[in-house]
Amino acid sequence: MRNANLYALFIERFPSDPNALFLDTGHARQLRYSDVPEQTGRLLSLLQGLGVRKGDRVMVQVDKSIESVLLYLACLRAGAIYIPLNTAYTPAEVAYFLQDATPRLFVCAPKSLSAMATVARESGVPELFTLDAAGQGSLTDALAAHAASDRIVEVAADELAAILYTSGTTGRSKGAMLSHANLASNAQVLFDTWHWQTGDVLLHALPIFHVHGLFVALHCALLGGSRVIFMPRFDADGVIDRLGEATVMMGVPTFYTRLLDNPRFTRDTCANMRLFISGSAPLLADTHRAFEARTGHRILERYGMTEAGMITSNPYDGERIAGTVGYALPGVDARVADGQGRELPRGEAGVLEITGPNVFSGYWQMPDKTAEEFRTDGWFITGDIAVMADDGRVTIVGRAKDLIISGGFNVYPKEIEAQLDELPGIRESAVIGVPHPDFGEGVTAVVVADGSAALSEASVITALQDRLARFKQPKRVYIVDQLPRNTMGKVQKNVLRETYKDTFA
Ligand code: MCA
Ligand code: AMP
């Protein structure tokens, strides 16, 4: 039987040219494809020496670097389950993930070692290392003592390659379990759908702790043996400086609005480009049009989620229609359904449900949550409200889940409200997303004081600093006498969204 390890699929496709670059950082430290087997082989020996076996979890919270990509690939080779965490998470947030996933190994950034050592110890994590810097506990240093293994651990198609945490509407993060086959099928479909070509060069400015930057972007490049212009983070000027060498770029809508805000971004800058892809949040039709007017390129918008990777895409050759997310990808079935999972007539709005080889197997150790989000016939309920046209084209028109997407990062109001409600002086709170020119939606809190402690916008924001990652913290806090409620007593968030819609205008 063929080894279903995703790494085995990638390595078959590596370029034969020994000098072909994989990760091009623009600095002295570059990574060639021909170096990947040896370097991941040494990491594999090290991981196995630390007792990491097939099915063990390896959790990482590290900056984007060549080493972090090598570690991901080495975990695949080891048959370990890779769990990346947003670098913005505070130690208090990380403690939850460590306790939930019980990793064999936790790899953190050198700058957070002392704080993370405490939470790792309290969470009973057997092995803690840092990445990228020399010094005590550095995984990179420890490599010196290890010879490269040539093994690729055998895995079955449905064995797990990764767990990605996604916050829940209940406020507790859930680990979406993704198998080698989930990731492989989605990568191959995207590679074909987007007409990936020999000679493509990917400009990569996304973080690599989410599906978009880690799987969608890197997997297409790995299947194509493509050079990746690997930038530590998005910065419009940095991107403009290197776009002339690239042919493909993927980004969240904020990337595209920030590029358009930059006068250096012109048609000439994009002369070498073949394809701009957008996703993770809705791309405004205005942005789509302004981008075409400036550059002559029609951005290709696609839609996906952590639990399923990519689900729909505008066509490469056909019409890329602004405001729509295109058609279900080959192999993926999509239906718009009512609250009971019954398919609605085309043109009617309902919840988008999907099946396909890309769909995850469930949430880590949460069978009840998993059951809630699947229909009995196996379809996954995305929680996005969509309309499907007669020809199958999908438009996302809203969300059934209470979710804010800020600059492509998901923020679940419930989690923020729970933190706010614990603060002295707050009786109750409601967290909403309102239009934000840069982030798409801006996190905004509306709180009711209980008079037991002095309360101000600044004091609330300060109090949240150690509790929540920066991107989740409200950018504005309003203190009000009461929250609007309907006759059932439920807070009317639509009323609040209307009242505060001009907050960031
Ligand atoms: C940073 N900040 C943010 C965000 N990012 N606040 C709200 N929303 C954000 N997304 C904070 C910073 O900590 C900083 O706080 C202040 O806001 C301004 O920072 P700035 O320098 O402007 O931010 P940045 O570092 O330039 O980052 C903005 C960004 C970044 C480039 C848009 O957030 C980003 O790369 N987003 C991509 C997210 C992504 O990859 N999503 C894919 C999820 P202070 O001023 O206090 O320091 S995967 C997914 O959704 C599915 C599967 C899909 O379909 O793809
Ligand atoms: P995540 O949990 O980070 O995977 O985010 C997935 C969610 O992002 C989806 O359920 C959608 O609500 C949203 N999303 C992703 N791509 C798009 C898009 N192109 N248009 C609208 N919403 C999107």
Q: Looking at this protein, which amino acid is placed at residue 247?
A: T
Q: What is the number of other CB atoms lying within 10 angstroms of the CB of residue 494? A: 11
Evaluate if residue 1 carries a pLDDT over 90: no
**Residue 418 CB partners (closer than 8 Å, separation 6+):** 171
Instruction: Give the confidence band of 343 by pLDDT, cuts at 50, 70, 90.
Output: very high
Evaluate if residue 349 carries a pLDDT over 80: yes
Evaluate if residue 220 carries a pLDDT over 80: yes
Please give the distance, rounded to the nearest whole angstrom, from the Cα atom of residue 371 to the centre of ligand 1. 31
- Render 294-318 in DSSP notation, one character per residue: HHS---EEEEEETTTEEEEE--SSS
> Which ligand 2 atom sits closest to the C-alpha of 409?
3
For the chain, what is the mean pLDDT? Answer: 96
**Residue 54 CB partners (closer than 8 Å, separation 6+):** 78, 79, 80, 153, 155, 159
Q: What is the mean pLDDT of residues 85-110?
A: 96
| Strand 105-108, strand 426-436: pairing | unpaired
Evaluate if residue 289 carries a pLDDT over 70: yes
Instruction: Give the confidence band of 172 by pLDDT, cuts at 50, 70, 90.
Output: confident
Q: What is the mean pLDDT of residues 340-352?
A: 97
Ligand 2 pocket check for 304: Cβ under 6 Å? yes
Token output for 285: 């039709």
> Which ligand 2 atom sits closest to the C-alpha of 166?
2
pLDDT in tens, 5-34: 999 999 999 999 999 999 999 988 899 999
pLDDT value of residue 167:
78
Q: What 3-state class would DSSP assign to 176?
A: strand
Q: What residues does 229 pair with on adjacent strands?
A: 24, 203
> Which ligand 2 atom sits closest to the C-alpha of 305?
4
| Domains of the chain in sequence order | 6-155 (3.40.50.12780), 194-298 (3.40.50.980), 404-499 (3.30.300.30)
d(CA 247, CA 252): 17
Category of 446 on φ-ψ map: left (φ > 0), alpha (ψ -120 to 50) or beta = beta
Instruction: Give the confidence band of 244 by pLDDT, cuts at 50, 70, 90.
Output: very high
What's phi and psi for 171, nearest 5 deg? Answer: 100, -20
**Residue 61 CB partners (closer than 8 Å, separation 6+):** 84, 85, 86, 87, 89, 94, 106, 107, 108, 109, 112, 116, 209
pLDDT in tens, 413-454: 999 999 999 999 999 999 999 999 999 999 999 999 999 999
Q: Looking at this protein, which amino acid is placed at residue 309?
A: G
d(CA 433, CA 231): 29
pLDDT value of residue 159:
98
pLDDT value of residue 170:
65
Q: Which residue has the tokens 């020999």?
A: 198
Helices 91-101 and 113-122 sit at what angle, rounded to 10 degrees?
A: 40
pLDDT value of residue 212:
98
Buried b (16+ CB within 10 A) or exposed e, 400-412: ebbbbbbbbbbbb
Instruction: Give the confidence band of 291 by pLDDT, cuts at 50, 70, 90.
Output: very high
pLDDT value of residue 28:
86
Closest Cα to residue 201, out of 217, 218, 231, 221?
A: 221
Determine the Cα angle at 216 with ends 213 and 218, to 5°: 65
CA dihedral over 503, 233, 81, 223, signed as positive or negative: positive
pLDDT value of residue 29:
87
Candidate of 87, 234, 259, 476 to mutate for ligand 1, largest count of ligand atoms within 8 Å of Cβ: 234
d(CA 196, CA 250): 13
Contact 299/282 with Cβ under 8 angstroms? no
**Residue 28 CB partners (closer than 8 Å, separation 6+):** none
Please give the distance, rounded to the nearest whole angstrom, from the Cα atom of residue 394 to the centre of ligand 1. 26
Q: Whose CA is nearest to atom 41 of ligand 1?
A: 408
Q: What is the mean pLDDT of residues 315-326?
A: 97
Evaluate if residue 168 carries a pLDDT over 70: no
pLDDT value of residue 71:
97
pLDDT value of residue 134:
72
E strand or H helix at 193, and its extent? helix 180-193
Query: What is the distance in angstroms between the CA of the first residue and the CA of the last residue of the chain?
Result: 58
pLDDT value of residue 306:
97
Ligand with an atom nearest the CA of residue 406: 1
Candidate of 303, 470, 473 to mutate for ligand 1, largest count of ligand atoms within 8 Å of Cβ: 470
Share of the chain above pLDDT 70, in %: 99
Evaluate if residue 354 carries a pLDDT over 70: yes
Q: Whose CA is nearest to atom 10 of ligand 2?
A: 305
d(CA 254, CA 407): 6
d(CA 185, CA 311): 12
What's phi and psi for 65, nearest 5 deg? Answer: -160, 170
Half-sphere exposure in the Cβ direction for 371 (13 Å, CA): 4
pLDDT value of residue 171:
66
pLDDT in tens, 149-165: 999 999 999 999 999 99
Token output for 443: 């996190």
Token output for 57: 């979890």
Q: What is the mean pLDDT of residues 383-395?
A: 98
Ligand 1 pocket check for 89: Cβ under 6 Å? no
